[in-house]
Amino acid sequence: MQKKITIKIGLGLLILTTFLVSGCGSTVTVPVVEGKPTVIKNEESSSPPSAGGVGVSMRVLWTVSGYKMGNNPLWSEKDARDMLFKPLDITATAIIFDGKTCRDVTFQKETLNTKDYLASAFHTTPQILGITEEVVEVVKTNCNLPGFDQYLRLKDRRLVIYLNGVFFYFEPNVNY
């Protein structure tokens, strides 16, 4: 009698586990419009799919480590503070940030005079942002995620992204 109950409980747990595992992931097919990067909102994870399309990658290349409020920001100090420690992943063809993915991204890098670039693009100075480098790498993309159409890459590998009137600093989490 007890053996039958144990078998029934085991079978029930096996069926329940099967339903849970098969229902955890979902696949969304998104049509690609030629020449435009695709943005997909990731409901379950902000990590990119792993190689081969199986499972979820847990790698995070950068995290928001700090911010400086720009002139007349659209966001409050609290909004900016809430962005701290959010993960960012950039691959050869994608940018994944804040639950959104921009696919088929192209990157163009330019080395520009820091003072001139910041003055013309953001009406600020390197001193206000704490940047001491005379030249900076500007990365321009075709990604339409807010803040990622162009961003700065500093010599210490930090990224600076301007979003809603706030400059966000991303610290690298990996070495390459």
Domain map (residue ranges) of the chain: 29-172
pLDDT tops 90 at residue 24: no
- The candidate with the shortest Cα–Cα distance to 105, out of 139, 66, 143, is 143
Report the pLDDT value the prediction gives residue 153, as an integer from 0 to 100.
96
Between residues 3 and 52, the one the model is more confident about? 3
- The candidate with the shortest Cα–Cα distance to 165, out of 64, 71, 67, 66, is 71
Report the pLDDT value the prediction gives residue 73, as an integer from 0 to 100.
94
How much of the chain, in percent, has pLDDT values that exceed 70? 64
- Please state the pTM of the whole predicted model: 0.67
Instruction: Give the residue-averaged pLDDT of 70-96.
Output: 95
Q: Flag the least confident range among 48-62, 83-97, 102-116.
A: 48-62
Report the pLDDT value the prediction gives residue 60, as an integer from 0 to 100.
61
Confidence of residue 173 (pLDDT cuts 50, 70, 90): confident
Q: What is the pLDDT of residues 28-61, one digit of tens each?
A: 334 444 454 544 444 333 444 444 444 455 566 8
- State the chain's mean pLDDT as an integer: 79
What's the distance, CA 3 to chain centroid? 52
Report the pLDDT value the prediction gives residue 86, as an integer from 0 to 100.
96
